[in-house]
Amino acid sequence: MIAPSDRTPLPREFFDRPVLEVAPDLLGRILVRTTPDGPIAVRLTEVEAYDGENDPGSHAYRGRTERNAVMFGPPGHVYVYFTYGMWHCMNLVCGPEGRAAGVLLRAGEIVEGAELARIRRRSARNDKELAKGPARLATALDVDRSLDGTDACATGETPIRALTGTPVPADRVSNGPRTGVAGDGGNGDIHPWRFWIADDPTVSPYRPHTPRRRR
């Protein structure tokens, strides 16, 4: 359950900061997805930072497109993308409008609505796996492209809302190369922009980038 003190909505100013400040500060925060069947809430335990046009790993590296337009908008909005023809992943936009930075939500602990998440994640062997990975997290929360552009800081009704939760102390935050991103890892970890709560069982396993072989 979510403690009453953890239910305060995060203000937009929280997201209107450099992405490398926002990303680790999101650990321990809570995201609530309101569905017709009831709310599902996840406590964030793993995230990755993407720095827009300064970052070859970002969807916004080559500029604005119809797909990534939300990343160029106001901070605190949700950017959802479809990948591998079958999965959705969810990000939170941060930094000033026009900057196109965002944080990928990689994993978390379902702290409310687990019974609803289990219906959507029937392959999970236990509750620790319900949101263990970015696609699993989006699936557990019933997030798809229809929610792209949702304002997680809206003052009125919104299907996704970011709450303060309980921030994680700096000595419990680990960081390293992003999962599956070309250029990260090796040679001094060019972009060690993956952040996670140390020893948390819901954090997803790290996998380095694997170049595609030409046939």
Q: Where exactly are the structural domains of the chain?
A: 4-197
pLDDT of residue 110: 98
Q: Mean pLDDT across the stretch 178-201?
A: 81
- pLDDT at residue 188 greater than cutoff 50: no
Q: Mean pLDDT across the stretch 146-164?
A: 97
User: DSSP per residue over 177-215, as a string?
Assistant: PPTT-TT-SSTTTS---EEEETT-TTSPPP----PPPP-
Q: Mean pLDDT across the stretch 169-173?
A: 97
Q: Mean pLDDT across the stretch 136-141?
A: 98
Alpha carbons 18 and 38: distance in angstroms, whole number = 33
Q: What is the pTM of this model?
A: 0.93
pLDDT of residue 199: 96
pLDDT of residue 153: 97
Q: Mean pLDDT across the stretch 126-151?
A: 98
For domain 4-197, the CATH superfamily is: Methylpurine-DNA glycosylase (MPG) (3.10.300.10)
Residues 147/37, Cβ–Cβ less than 8 Å = no
Alpha carbons 130 and 110: distance in angstroms, whole number = 7
pLDDT of residue 213: 61
Alpha carbons 52 and 60: distance in angstroms, whole number = 5
